[in-house]
């Protein structure tokens, strides 16, 4: 294991009936790094996320987070340990304002415990004030502050994804797994998301594993890239190494043709 290993997948296998969606996949993500996970449609990227975050138990292999095995744990326990993810397809946001949705993400966090609410109302009030401050800060960084009092119903696809990214931060993660964070985003929104991810890594030392089909985004932000195809790791390397790899180009072109 690398000295600074944050996440490690060790020969992970996930089958759906006769289909092997993830096939003996092994990789490591270093603390504080931004790692891309790319591959053609159906390569097993989302399934890998689902295994790491506990939605599925691997059929074989292990997932290690900060030196401890997490495979088989429940999703909320894995989230509690410090991994939060966003979803490829936007989950349904509540029909409330943008700010209310952001505040809601803090619910269930510290201070929302009913006994604390009864015993320490001042503590809860302070907590709520802090949540509001953090929500405003996140919305400002995501260029969503001007829309804070609008219903989420008016948000564009890209803005919804950005709000979900903001919500993911409310759980105070150490590591974020983002499934196509700029899908449906405009050119400008994509730039905002890219800058936000870089800022989170730099200022808060967060670690990222990002699935993304937009190559310019992946090449721009990732320290390392893992390429998967048919559930298997095809290669791993720097953006330059991946760009120069013949097999990678063939894997993509092969599916398109
Ligand atoms: N719950 C499921 N039941 C059965 N098969 C599934 C399930 N989830 C995924 N699969 C299959 O597993 C394979 C990998 O799917 P997955 O969604 O992980 O791919 P992906 O790399 O995320 O693709 P995309 O880039 O299109 O999002 C596909 O063949 C898919 O049809
Ligand atoms: Mg997917």
pLDDT at 256: 45
For residue 37, pLDDT beyond 60: yes
Q: Which of 247, 230, 256 is nearest to 48 (CA)?
A: 230
For residue 100, pLDDT beyond 90: yes
Ligand 1, residue 231: give the atom nearest the CA.
14
Domain termination site, one of 102, 121, 154: 154
Specify whether 129 is located in the same domain as 251: no
Specify whether 166 is located in the same domain as 178: yes
pLDDT at 254: 58
Total domain count, the chain: 2
Specify whether 99 is located in the same domain as 13: no
Specify whether 61 is located in the same domain as 46: yes
Count of CB atoms situated within 10 Å of the CB of 95: 10
Nearest CA to ligand 1 atom 17: 46
Q: How confident is the model at residue 257 (pLDDT cuts 50, 70, 90)?
A: very low
Specify whether 147 is located in the same domain as 179: no
Count of CB atoms situated within 10 Å of the CB of 47: 23
Are 255 and 220 a contacting pair, CB within 8 Å?
no
Specify whether 42 is located in the same domain as 111: no
Ligand 1, residue 43: give the atom nearest the CA.
21
Specify whether 121 is located in the same domain as 25: no
Specify whether 225 is located in the same domain as 107: no
Nearest CA to ligand 1 atom 24: 41
pLDDT at 157: 85
- Between CA 228 and CA 211 the distance in angstroms is 11
Specify whether 38 is located in the same domain as 147: no
Count of CB atoms situated within 10 Å of the CB of 125: 11
Specify whether 66 is located in the same domain as 112: no
For residue 116, pLDDT beyond 70: no
Q: How confident is the model at residue 198 (pLDDT cuts 50, 70, 90)?
A: very high
Quickly tell me which residue has 């709520």 as its tokens: 128
How far is ligand 2, taken at its centre, from the CA of residue 28, in Å?
20
pLDDT at 2: 62
- 39-77 confidence digits (pLDDT tens): 999 999 999 999 999 999 999 999 999 999 999 899 999
Q: Which of 220, 180, 170 is nearest to 88 (CA)?
A: 180
Domain termination site, one of 154, 181, 200: 154
- Between CA 208 and CA 226 the distance in angstroms is 13
pLDDT at 94: 74
Specify whether 196 is located in the same domain as 107: no
Query: In which domain, by residue range, is 80 found?
Result: 5-87+158-256
What are 213's two structure tokens?
Answer: 């089909």
Mean pLDDT for the stretch of residues 176-183: 94
Specify whether 102 is located in the same domain as 140: yes
Ligand 1, residue 17: give the atom nearest the CA.
4
Mean pLDDT for the stretch of residues 131-149: 94
Q: Give the residue, out of 12, 13, 38, 45, with the most ligand 1 atoms within 8 A of its beta carbon, to mutate for a pocket test.
A: 45
Quickly tell me which residue has 């994509």 as its tokens: 190
- Between CA 43 and CA 230 the distance in angstroms is 5
For residue 58, give the CATH number of its domain: 3.40.50.300
Domain termination site, one of 112, 135, 154: 154
Q: How confident is the model at residue 119 (pLDDT cuts 50, 70, 90)?
A: low
pLDDT at 113: 54
Residues near ligand 1 (Cβ within 6 A): 16, 19, 21, 39, 41-47, 88
Three-state DSSP class for residue 42: coil
| Strands 60-65 vs 19-30: parallel, antiparallel or unpaired | unpaired
Task: Return mean pLDDT, the chain.
Answer: 89
């Amino acid at each position: 294991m690398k000295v600074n290993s944050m996440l490690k997948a060790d020969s992970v296998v996930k089958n759906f009936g006769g289909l092997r969606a993830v096939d003996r996949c092994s990789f490591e993500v270093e603390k504080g790094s931004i790692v891309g996970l790319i591959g053609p449609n159906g390569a097993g990227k989302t399934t890998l996320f689902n295994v790491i975050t506990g939605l599925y138990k691997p059929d074989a292999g292990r997932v290690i987070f900060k030196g401890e095995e997490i495979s088989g744990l429940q999703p909320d326990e894995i989230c509690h340990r410090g991994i939060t993810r966003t979803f490829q397809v936007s989950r349904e946001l509540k029909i409330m304002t943008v700010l209310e949705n952001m505040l809601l993400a803090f619910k269930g966090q510290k201070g929302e415990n009913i006994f604390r609410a009864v015993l320490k109302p001042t503590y809860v009030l302070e907590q709520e004030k802090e949540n509001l401050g953090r929500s405003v800060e996140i919305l400002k960084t995501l260029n969503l502050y001007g829309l804070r009092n609008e219903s989420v119903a008016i948000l564009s696809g890209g803005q919804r994804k950005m709000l979900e990214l903001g919500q993911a931060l409310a759980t105070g993660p150490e590591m974020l797994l983002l499934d196509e964070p700029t899908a449906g985003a405009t050119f400008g929104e994509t730039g905002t998301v890219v800058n936000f991810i870089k800022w989170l890594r730099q200022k808060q030392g967060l670690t990222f594993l990002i699935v993304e089909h937009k190559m310019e985004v992946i090449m721009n932000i990732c320290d390392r890239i893992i390429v998967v195809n048919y559930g298997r790791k095809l290669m791993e390397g720097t953006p330059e190494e991946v760009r120069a790899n013949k097999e990678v180009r063939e894997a993509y072109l092969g599916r398109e043709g």
